[in-house]
Amino acid sequence: MNRTHSFKFMNDTLNLRLIGLLKKANIDYTVGRDGAIRYSACDERIVGNELIRTIRNGVFSAWQILSCPRDWIERYKRYMRRKHVPFSEELINNQLCLLLPRKYRPHSWKLDEAADSQRGRKPA
């Protein structure tokens, strides 16, 4: 079967839970050397909407996925660490994304101010 989708919880414990759920659901998958789980587009509904969601619900009862350009990820992570925003990292089809509680509004955050304060400057 053509495994065109990939997913990885960067937390090994969460990733192993997902592998256990895949086995239990009898989903055809492989795990690459990088730990990424590859599966068929035919299984996307059950893998994405049921199995991955079950684990995410265990991390945060209400959650959201933050995806952004690759060069923004570190700025978001620095901001969240500084503001004590809990998050977990995921690799979705080779794109690093962040799982965080739904109550936060990351698209309203002033990341430039966070980057300026890291450099010891005040924003203009």
Tens digits of residue pLDDT in 8-47: 999 999 999 999 999 999 999 999 999 999 999 999 999 9
Let me know if residue 46 belongs to a domain. Answer: yes
Asked whether residue 62 is domain-assigned, the answer is: yes
Residue 57: inside a domain, yes or no?
Answer: yes
User: Is there a domain that residue 18 lies in?
Assistant: yes
Give a yes or no: residue 92 inside a domain.
yes
Question: How many domains does one find in the chain?
Answer: 1
Global pTM value:
0.84
Q: Tell me the residue range of the domain where 65 lies.
A: 5-118
123 located within any domain:
no
Close Cβ partners of 96 (under 8 Å, ≥ 6 residues apart): 10, 70, 73, 89, 90
Q: In the beta sheet, which residues pair with residue 90?
A: 9, 97
pLDDT tens digit sequence for 53-109: 999 999 999 999 999 999 999 999 999 999 999 999 999 999 999 999 999 999 899
Q: Is residue 124 part of a domain?
A: no
Residue 4 pLDDT: 85
Cα–Cα distance for residue pair 103/15, rounded to 1 Å: 24
